[in-house]
Each structure stands twice: as C-alpha cells, then as structure tokens.
Structure 1
Amino acid sequence: MGGILMTITKQSLSACTSILVGKKASLDGSVYIGRNEDAKSAWPKHMCVHPRQEFTSEQVFTSKDNGFSMPLPKVAYKYTATPEWTDEFGLFEEDGINEFGVAMSATESAYANSEVLSCDPLVANGIGEEAMVTVVLPYIKTAREGVLRLGQIVSDYGASEANGILFADDQEAWYLEIGSGHHWVAQRIPDDAYAVVANQLAIEEIDFADTKNFLTSAGIQAFVEANQLNPSLDGTFNFRKIFGTQTLSDQIYSTPRVWYGQKYLTPSVEQDPMSLELPFIRKPDRKLGLDDLSYVLGSHYQNTPYDPLNSKDPLLKKKFRPISLAKTQESHILQLRSDLSQDIKGIHWLALGVTAQSVFVPFFAGANDVHPAYKVGKATYEPDSAYWIYKQAGILVDAHYQAFAKELSDLQTELTVGFKTAVRKVVAAVKAGEFDGDLADFLTTESIKLQDLGLKKYQALSASLITQATDMSPLNFKTDANL
C-alpha cells in the first residue's frame, strides 16, 4: 500500500452528479438511476452493446490505466456501455444495463479524509472507475449482487479511488461508497425516496443490523474503533462524517448541487445551499418521471441568483459549480420497469455532450446494436460522430445564448415528446406481439431509428444556427440600402 501523499495525488477525479429514485417515488413504478459523466470538454464517448460471451477457460482482466488485474468468470452476460473513444487510459465504460435487467453507473468521484486514508490508504493498482462496469455488470443478476461483487473486489484487491457507484434492477436501487483502500458501505434507496449525490461521500448513519437496506465491508466497525476515527459524541456510525470531508470546497463545489436537486424535487423544504447537513435520502413532494431526472441532470441553478446563464449578479452567478457544465461527456438515465418482460424492461436513455444542451435518446437494452454514429468520434471534431453532432449544437448556442436558447429548447421539447411517444408504441407492440421477426432485432431497429432522428434534428439545428450566426459578426455594420 502506498503512503498518504501518493494516495492523494494518485486519485484523478472526475466531477459527476448522480440521482437515484425508488419505485414508489416514480410515476410508473420504474426504478431509476442517472448520472452526468463530467471530465473533459472535448473527449468523445461511444455507445456499444457487448454480446453474451461464453469462454472455455477463465478470463483475466488487466487495466491499461493502473495495472489492476483480476480473473473473470467464463460467462459474461450481454450489456450496454458507453466507453471512451480510446482505451489508452482505460475503458471507462461508465454505465449500462445487462441482459438480466440490472443497471450500473460508475462512478461518482468522491474524497476521503486524511485521517481515514492514513490508516487504510488507497491502493495504486487497486480497482478504479475505468474498470468497474467492465468487471461487474456482465456478471450479476440483481442490483444487490452488484453491490456484493464490487464490494468484495474492493475488499480483496483494494480501491485506487474513493467513489460512489449506482446499481438498480426493477425492484430496488442501491448506492455503494468506497471510503478508503479496502472499506465501503452501501445503502438501499427507500422505495418512496430519492438521493442526489455530488462528489462527496454522502451515506449517513449505518444500521448494521438491517442487512436488507445496508451492506458493508467486513470489519469496518472494528477498523474505525481501533483507529479512533469516529468523531461522534454518542457513538453513532455516520459514514459521511467518519470517512468523508466537510470543507469549504464541499460547500462551494458539491453541496449546492445536492441543494438544488432537493430544492427542485422537494420544494416544500427550505435549506441552505452551503449546508454540510443536507440529507442523503429525501422524499419527493410529487411522484417523479423522466422529465424530473433530466431537469436535475441538465440544471444550472435556474430561477436562482446562482444561474451562470441568466443571473444578473456577476458574483453570485459564478459562486457555485452547476450540475450541467461544459465538461460533461455524456449523461445517462437508466430506467427499469417491473411491468415489462426481461427483454424490454430496461431503457438506456443517453444524452451525449452537455446535458443542458443535449437530449436524452432512448435505447432499449434488449437491442443488439447501435447507430453507426455512436461508434465513432475522436478527440478532434468529426462531423459523423454522434458525440460531436450534439456537442457542435451546444457550442453554437453558447456563442449567442440569448438569441439561440429558445430554438434549442423547442427542439429538446419536440424530441422528448416524440421519443416518449415512440417508446409507448414499441412497448405496446411488444405486449401485443405485433412485430415481425426476432424481438431483439425489432428493438434494435426501433432504437436506431430514434438515435437517427435525434442526430438528424440536431444536424438541422446546427445548420440553422450557423446560418443565423453569419449575421452576428462583430464586423457587421448596418448600411443604408440606398448606398
């Protein structure tokens, strides 16, 4: 194990925001998990569907990032994923749904405090974000299994980062947090509640007797006690306060995002955006749908003085880090429905580029291929790349936000309504058996149609914005038509 200085400098954090919703808190009984993957402003993501694979011998995974290595089972289940355009620095598959209707999103980067890390440092060649989906999602049949598999890997091999990982199936959502080199906890999101997380260790009091709703690394209580790490006066085991940080950076960078998500979903409760006591779990004031999750993930403190796009106060508009920002590579909402068959219960909603400027496109997890544009795109702009098509439109809007924002918003609304209508039609057709051929082929065709529609509409938007922008040059001059 490396020393504390190496541990702190080793962790290369991405800056994401996550949301999890229980089945009784949603409009149609769906379980949802979603996250913005925030890292670099020009770093394309692809989308793929890995087919089920069966090998005659045990496989071995080895990370190109840090050398983490472990054996893998002989059978790998089919799953969707969003890897980066290059695997030079690791795979970073980030999010997906497998053939058993289990969803996973990894990771919500976090920080552990120096007291904890001095006792159990992060492991330089332990498991990190780039490997987690790859070594876990193809090998689990429930969300709980996902927690246990990843937790065991952390305990056995160590973790190279402090992270939060989201799991869901059609019955429950779980959030797992890694707080040191080998220790972790996980909490089941109550069915009637939600959680918003933003680059902090967020889970609070652990009930070790309630294994239905809490899971932890072996020996975590003894570890905390032996190293005198618990600051509680009454002995309460609050994971956030024992393992996490409570700094000014948290108050500027992280807690305001949680505050805004809770403000939107539970407006009946008034809170301070810089409070270090915002709860991990909240009950919403209404049942939540896809629009609520997409609003939160695409938000930038709208209707508050902190909105960097619309606030009139030059100081407040830059005070807090917003949820949606230029460094978002992709945003996903993974929806699991218990009222549908295995092949169609999972929908992978994916918004490439900046969430506030993109749109969530539905992809049925039972499909077996994606649109060709989702398979291409490198670090330099490419016109045939889905990532760059969505990114280009956002860049054009940025240049003349007040003039172009409405046109973008109108298109987002049009596409969202169209996508939801199409999903309803596909689900109805599957339920009625009104489709030709193989179900996976049907879902593939319909998913690619929707991906294609989004791409063509955004290409048309970019063409319109470029045309309009030709008359917005600083070199423009109103000349008398008679001259």
Structure 2
Amino acid sequence: MKARTVCAVILLLMAATSFACTTLIVTKGASADGSMIVAHSDDNDLSDQRIIYVPAQDHEPGSLRPVYCTAVAVGEFPQYNSFIYPRIVSSRAPAYNTKEYLPSIPIGMIPQVPHTYAYFDGSYGIMNEHQLMFGECTDGAKIQIGPEPGRRIFYSSELSRVALERCKTAREAVELIGFLIEEYGYYGTGETLPVADPNEAWIIEMAPSPEGTGGLWVAKRVPDGEVFVAANQFRIREIDPEDPDILFGKTLHEVAEKYGWWKPEDGLLDWLRTVSLGEYNHPYYSLRRVWRLFSLIAPGMDLSPWVEDGFTREYPFSIKPDKKLTVRDVMNLYRDHYEGTEFDLTKGIAAGPFGYPDRFYGPYDGQGDVGDPSRELGGAWERPISVTYCGYTYVCQGRDWLPDQLGGLMWIGLDKPADTCFIPFYAGVNALPYSLQVCDTSKFSRDSAWWAFNFVSNWAGLKYSYMHEDIKLMQEKYETLSLSRLQEVESYVAGIISTRPEKAVKYLTEFCAGNFDEIVKAWWAFSEYLIVRYNDGFINEKGKMAQPVGYPQDWLDRTDWSEGPTSYEKGNK
C-alpha cells in the first residue's frame, strides 16, 4: 500500500482557487433543439480528473451502502483514507478498485436499495442511464465543519451519487437529497447542485447547520424557457412556503431564528443572507461570472457588471435568452475570458505579449468569504469562466423524444474549456474508454487522455494568441464531426433498440469509444505539431523554418526595448 502523510482538515476554509466551479441549466424551452442542458466546470486544482463509469448493480435484501468522505472542496481526511487522489477506492466501480491504494473507509452506512442505476461519475455525480443530470458549484457558508459519524456523514458529492443511483426525475432527486441531509447530517461547504431530467429542472442548495447535526437546504424549480447560472454563491433568495416551486428543510426557519440569522418579523427568509456572508475570495469573484453569462445569453437585458454589494438583486435567479441556445453555444460560453469587455483577460500587461488569459494565484491572493471582517485584500485578478486550474468540463443533454439510452448525452471536455474539445458519450453505454478512466496528475502518461489536452493547453501559453487560433480550428473540426456522426448513430440505434437492446448498447459503447480514441489520438498528434510549429519562439514550417515574428508592437512599446544599446557611447544602454 502507498503511505500517505497528510494533515486532517476539521474546520474548513475554502482556498482562494480550489474547487470553485461555474454551473448552469438551459431548460428545454430555452434550447434550440428542445433538449435540457446541464453544464459544469470542475475547477479542481489538479485533483482526480478521472471520469468513471459506475455500472448498474443489484443488491441483496438488508444490504447497506457505504458513504465515503469527500476530499474535493473540503480537504483530505486520512482517518477515512479520503484523499484528493484517488477520490474513492472501493468495488463501487471497476475503475475505483485501485488495489495499490488503501481502500476508502466509510464514515457511515445507509440502507441499500434492491437495484441501483448506472451513471458517469467525477468529483460529483454527472449523469445516469435515465437522463438524470447534475451540475455543481461550491459556495461560502457561515458554518463550515467536518464530518462526524452518526451526526454528519454526507457532502454534496455523495448526495449526488446516491440520487443518480436511485432516481429517474429531478424532483425525486431533490426530495431524496433533502431527506438524506436531514436524516444523516451534512458537512463541508455550502453547495449548489443543479439537477435536471429531460423535462424539469431544479436547483438544490445546502449548508451545514449550526446545530452540528442534520443540515439546511432549499430547492427551487427553474421555469421552463429560462436559463439558470451559478458561480460559487448561493442563488436562491426568498423562501415562500406557499410557492409550489420551492421546497425547503423542515427545520430551516426554526434553526435560522434560534441562531439570530432571521426573524419572522423580517418577512420571508432570504436564503442567501441567512446562511452565507455573500461572495467568497474577493468582490465579483462570483457575481462577475453570473453577469458575464447572463450578458452573453441575454444581451438585451443590458445588465451592469457593477453592483452595490455581494447580496445584490440585480441578477435574477434565471433569465430568458435572447435566442435559444445550442449545445455548442453552451460549450463556447465556458471558453470565455471576458473577451471584448473592460475585463478582457487577453489584454493588459498581465496577459504578456501574446494575450495569455490565465492568471496564476499565489499566497498574496485572498481566501475565505468576502463578508469576513478579518480579511484584508491587497489586490485581485478578475475570475473568468475558463481557468487554468479547471480539471474538466461537461455539457450534458437530456432529450425526451428519444429512449433514455440515446436521449442522454455527456459531452466531456478534459482540462481547461477554452482549449479542450468536447466529446460525446451516450447514457446507454456500458463502459467508458480506459484512457478516460485513468489519470494521476502527479505522473505524466500518454495512457491518460486528460494529459493530451492538459499538455496542449499548457504549451499554448508560450504563444497563446497564435496557438489558440490553431486550437479553435481543431475544436471546430472535431466537435462538428462528432455532431454529424450522432445523427447516423441515433437513426440506426433507434431502429433496433426495442427489439435488440443488447446490440444497441454494444454499438453505442463501441461508437463512443472509437470516436473518443480518434479525437484523443488527433490531439496527441496536434501537440507534436504545436511543438514544432512554434519552436524557440519562431513560426516554423517545412522548407521555411525559424520565421522571426517577434512581439506585437503595442507590447514592445511598453518594454525597455527602445532603451537598449544602439551605439558604443558610454551611458548608452
């Protein structure tokens, strides 16, 4: 077994860059093809990047389901063999049965059900075989505490997995998660989980309770025809007990009143104000992304990027898009660095000569919640949607006009969304490619697909304004190719799935694996092309090597190049 020496994290504070994601839902009435879309960027600081297929399973009567601690977003728990990598070691899925690591130790058990559904898993559950889909983002909360057997055994990641194992609809998932929080207790950070089936979308938000057991939660339905966005801040506000589109925990009002967080005479309970201090990290860390996505989706609203404070009401819970969104529209939303705005990260001195949009965070950057009076900020970078520390992004589709095996699509983009290629997998596959299910970020390996995309993204930083144009051509080529192939696949499988389901599943699995492997192979070849093409800062091509392009003039004018030596006279630099 590999020895691991780490410090336990009991009282939890979120780091400045760790596990801070952007998530959205495009309801069926807001999408161009009538599909429900759930998207999520897992900004996880070189965590466990594996996308795992968890098979459907049958269980004996009286069986118990283990609940494991989660290191993602809340820190490692060595007493439960809970580490950043691997996230789980168990027989839950073949790819999780990594025998060279210590097995995960359950923090608790819950009664198992006779049959659990197959699903795709990452840092959080993604999508199951019945087209149930989850997104996620971490939020600040007034109370952030660690797990404790018998009192707090669930974090949002395991909650999403249990829901995918047992539920077919979004409302079922919300109700189950709420029950599990109250029955078994919730630890960790605040969390927002978008959850949707092909016809209905909900947002469930949760936070630990100051009681030290149970937990606080609310849920709200996203109106059809609208788009919801969250970016590391709670998005649900007033809780109206008479609203049929709002659900909440049975102890929420009682606990909030007991701890002085809310008084009945104040009117309806404001969830955001009640359980959090607003944004975290720095002002606009969350709100700027909400503004940006809303402004791209509905520019006609003319929303301002500037607000009074972190509890602003300028940005509604959900909005109607100016035009209905395609799945590729959503992919491109995740590639944004505020291009063309006053916050454009491809501009300015920090972007360097070649418009590099990523910013590397350090110990000088803020941590904790903005509302914490003990915090001091010396400065801050704008926080874009696409960040260099993103581990993977997915865009899931649920389509009610197709059988579940065909209707559910997970488009997975490994590493940073700005520089990745989204590749589709049907919910009806019975396996995922080996190279998608292996990735140790501490060891470079060509056996892992993630490393192909990570390498290209990092290499592009050497001459980003040039290489990113090459990347965009690759994205256009292979995402368009995948979309065109799906039409033929769905036509064929729809004709056999009712009479020959096993053949249909085999066909889907082989198609998805072949398409994925082809694109990954192309990305490795592309990486080698970029190495040669931009070697030593030149532009290179066979027969015309070492073309000196130098630096852009506007950047050159800001350097001390003009003060360099131009004569032999003393005093001339």
TM-score normalised by structure 2 residue count:
0.74
Contact 2:24 2:40 in 1 (8 A): yes
Structure 1 pair 245/377, CA: closer, same or farther in 2 (3 Å)? same
2:185 to 135, 151, 158: 158
Q: How does 1:337-348 map to 2 (within 5 A)?
A: 337-348=399-410
> Which amino acid is the alignment partner of residue 195 of structure 2?
F
Structure 2 equivalent of residue 108 of structure 1: 137
1:272 to 281, 297, 304: 304
2:170 paired with 1:143? yes
1:378 Cα deviation after fit: 1.2
Contact 1:53 1:76 in 2 (8 A): yes
Contact 1:193 1:282 in 2 (8 A): yes
1:307 Cα deviation after fit: 2.2
Contact 2:233 2:279 in 1 (8 A): no
SS at 1:349 equivalent = strand
> Which amino acid is the alignment partner of residue 47 of structure 2?
W
Structure 2 equivalent of residue 87 of structure 1: none
TM-score normalised by structure 1 residue count:
0.87
1:448 to 504, 513, 522: 513
2:482 paired with 1:419? yes
**For residues 110 and 408 of structure 1, what CA distance do their matches in structure 2 show?**
32
Structure 1 equivalent of residue 259 of structure 2: 227
2:233 to 182, 189, 200: 200
**For residues 477 and 458 of structure 1, what CA distance do their matches in structure 2 show?**
24
1:11 Cα deviation after fit: 9.0
Q: Larger % of helix: which? A: 1
Contact 2:65 2:111 in 1 (8 A): yes
Structure 2 equivalent of residue 243 of structure 1: 275
Which deviates more from structure 2 when the two are superposed, residues 132-141 or residues 455-464?
132-141
Structure 1 pair 270/100, CA: closer, same or farther in 2 (3 Å)? same
2:147 paired with 1:124? yes
1:387 Cα deviation after fit: 0.7
Contact 1:304 1:311 in 2 (8 A): no
1:60 Cα deviation after fit: 2.9
SS at 2:472 equivalent = helix
1:123 Cα deviation after fit: 5.1
2:108 paired with 1:69? yes
> Which amino acid is the alignment partner of residue 400 of structure 1?
K
1:427 Cα deviation after fit: 1.5
Structure 1 pair 33/392, CA: closer, same or farther in 2 (3 Å)? same
1:61 Cα deviation after fit: 0.9
Structure 1, residues 145-200: CA drift from partner, whole Å, max 9, x if none? 11111111111222212111121111111111013331100111111111110100
> Which amino acid is the alignment partner of residue 280 of structure 1?
F
**For residues 16 and 37 of structure 1, what CA distance do their matches in structure 2 show?**
5
Which deviates more from structure 2 when the two are superposed, residues 94-103 or residues 453-462?
94-103
Gaps of 5+ in 1: 84-91
SS at 1:344 equivalent = helix
**For residues 364 and 431 of structure 1, what CA distance do their matches in structure 2 show?**
13
**For residues 233 and 193 of structure 1, what CA distance do their matches in structure 2 show?**
32
Structure 1 equivalent of residue 386 of structure 2: 324
**For residues 183 and 346 of structure 2, what CA distance do their matches in structure 1 show?**
46
2:536 paired with 1:466? no
Structure 2 equivalent of residue 49 of structure 1: 53
1:298 to 332, 335, 350: 335
Structure 1 pair 123/249, CA: closer, same or farther in 2 (3 Å)? closer
SS at 1:382 equivalent = coil
Gaps of 5+ in 2: 1-8, 71-76, 78-105, 210-214, 358-379, 540-544, 549-573
SS at 2:178 equivalent = helix
**For residues 547 and 297 of structure 2, what CA distance do their matches in structure 1 show?**
48
Contact 1:11 1:160 in 2 (8 A): no
Q: Greater CA radius of gyration, 1 or 2? A: 2
Contact 1:48 1:81 in 2 (8 A): yes
Structure 1 pair 10/398, CA: closer, same or farther in 2 (3 Å)? closer
Structure 1 pair 338/248, CA: closer, same or farther in 2 (3 Å)? closer
Structure 1 equivalent of residue 372 of structure 2: none
1:309 Cα deviation after fit: 2.2
1:295 Cα deviation after fit: 1.7
Structure 2 equivalent of residue 307 of structure 1: 344
Contact 1:47 1:82 in 2 (8 A): yes
Structure 1 equivalent of residue 371 of structure 2: none
**For residues 72 and 460 of structure 1, what CA distance do their matches in structure 2 show?**
49
Structure 1 pair 147/289, CA: closer, same or farther in 2 (3 Å)? same
Structure 2 equivalent of residue 185 of structure 1: 218
> Which amino acid is the alignment partner of residue 128 of structure 1?
Y
SS at 2:436 equivalent = helix
**For residues 327 and 274 of structure 1, what CA distance do their matches in structure 2 show?**
26
2:419 paired with 1:354? no
> Which amino acid is the alignment partner of residue 221 of structure 1?
H
1:232 Cα deviation after fit: 9.5
**For residues 248 and 100 of structure 1, what CA distance do their matches in structure 2 show?**
35
1:133 Cα deviation after fit: 3.1
SS at 1:201 equivalent = coil
Identical pairs, percent: 24
**For residues 51 and 278 of structure 2, what CA distance do their matches in structure 1 show?**
36
Structure 2 equivalent of residue 168 of structure 1: 196
Structure 1, residues 216-237: CA drift from partner, whole Å, max 9, x if none? 1113223333433238985132
Which deviates more from structure 2 when the two are superposed, residues 323-332 or residues 131-140?
131-140
Structure 2 equivalent of residue 24 of structure 1: 29
2:436 to 374, 379, 392: 374
> Which amino acid is the alignment partner of residue 341 of structure 1?
P
Contact 2:204 2:220 in 1 (8 A): yes
1:326 Cα deviation after fit: 0.8
Structure 1 pair 283/375, CA: closer, same or farther in 2 (3 Å)? same
Structure 1 pair 250/171, CA: closer, same or farther in 2 (3 Å)? farther
**For residues 80 and 60 of structure 1, what CA distance do their matches in structure 2 show?**
16
SS at 1:328 equivalent = coil
Contact 2:438 2:448 in 1 (8 A): yes
Name the Cα RMSD after superposition: 2.9
1:438 Cα deviation after fit: 1.2
Structure 2 equivalent of residue 88 of structure 1: none
2:324 to 278, 284, 287: 287
Structure 2 equivalent of residue 407 of structure 1: 470
